[in-house]
Amino acid sequence: MIVDLNLKGRNILVVGAGMEGTKRIKSLSKHDCKIIIISETVNESLYEIEGKNNPIIIIKRKIDPNIIDEFKDIFVVFASTNDPFLNKKIIERAKEKGILSYIIDDASASDFFFTSIINIDEIIQIAISTSGKSPLMSKIIRDRIEKAIKNIIGKKDTDNIKIQEFAREHARNYIENQHERRKFLYSIVDDQEIQELIAKNNIDKAKERIINTLDKWEDNKSR
């Protein structure tokens, strides 16, 4: 099952900051989470990320298998040292503490797998997964289909996602019933005027129409 973890505000512990660890850290730094890096050696490029207002803490020190015990409220642990035995011990300790874990050199022992992502305007992410069996093939397949997918999904789709997010947030204040809220959100997709405004990049007007529609919805309810 492919899921999209919400890491915002979470504490992430990365043990080991070699080439693979650095790759994961750079990816994590885009998710508004607090990253704690423990490593004897640190890739210099990580200091550049640290200096860009990212919540990253770098601690250079020797690593032991029970290092997790020194930290509280850790959501995910990444074991990415160059020592497979040490990685295994770190992950075993994480599992004992009920913490999600990922081991860089043994996908089968991890609680989740990384996917190859097709990213469209930082709004739509389409994941290609081989369930850890072959990261290389997931990348090859992604490269093969990425252009075709981006030709199918356009700006109007991403703008509709933004509009749906706006409508969903405001609908909670007007419509208590979840089934009715769902009907309202579907109606936006079928609303020709809203769709024309989106196509013309007139997003503010589209939002204004949504609020007016919700006002009418509330008026009809109170009668």
Closest Cα partner for 77 from 50, 109, 46? 109
Domain boundary among 153, 177, 206: 153
Amino acid at site 200: K
Q: CB neighbours of 182 closer than 8 A, spacing ≥ 6? A: none
42 and 69 inside one domain: yes
How far apart CA 216 and CA 162 sit, in angstroms, is 22
- Helix, strand and coil in the chain, % to nearest 5: 50, 20, 30
DSSP 72: S
104 and 130 inside one domain: no
141 and 45 inside one domain: no
The CATH number of the domain holding residue 13 is 3.40.50.720
Per-residue pLDDT of the chain (223 residues; tens, 9 = 90+): 777 888 999 999 999 988 888 888 988 888 889 999 999 988 888 877 765 666 888 999 999 889 999 999 999 999 999 999 999 999 999 999 999 999 988 888 899 888 889 999 989 999 999 888 888 899 999 999 999 999 999 999 999 999 999 999 999 988 988 999 999 999 999 999 999 999 999 999 999 999 998 988 766 665 5
- The whole domain housing 168 covers 156-222
128 and 169 inside one domain: no
27 and 107 inside one domain: yes
What domain count does the chain have? 3
91 and 41 inside one domain: yes
59 and 33 inside one domain: yes
Domain boundary among 153, 179, 207: 153
Give the position of tokens 């949504």. Answer: 210
135 and 214 inside one domain: no
